[in-house]
Amino acid sequence: MTGAPEMSDYASVDFRDRFGVAVVSVDYRLAPEHPHPAGPDDGIAVAEWLLRNGEREFGSDRLILGGESAGGYMSAIVLLRIRDELHAADRVLGANLVFGVYDWGRSASQRGIRATTGLDLLDPVGIEFFTECYLPGLTDDERRDPSISPAFADLHGLPPAFMTVGTSDHLLDDTLMLSSRWAAAGNEVELLVLPELPHGFMAVPCGLTSLWAERTLKWFAEILGRAR
d(CA 131, CA 5): 22
Distance CA 166, CA 200 (A): 9
**Catalytic residue status for 168:** no
Residue tagged active-site, from 120, 169, 173, 174:
169
C-alpha to C-alpha distances, 200 to 7, 8, 147, 205, 228, nearest whole angstrom: 14, 14, 26, 11, 32
Contact (CB, 8 A) for 69 and 199? yes
State yes or no: is 169 an active-site residue: yes
Residue of 36, 42, 69, 174 marked catalytic: 69
Torsion angles phi and psi, residue 24, rounded to 5: -115, 120
Q: Which helix (H) or strand (E) holds 14?
A: helix 9-19
Q: Are 193 and 166 in contact (CB under 8 A)?
A: yes
Conformation bin of residue 6: beta by default, left when phi > 0, alpha when psi is -120 to 50: alpha
199 noted as active-site residue: yes
Rounded CA separation 42/224 (Å): 26
Which region, left, alpha or beta, applies to residue 33 given φ > 0 means left and ψ of -120 to 50 means alpha? Answer: alpha
**Which residues form the catalytic set?**
69, 169, 199
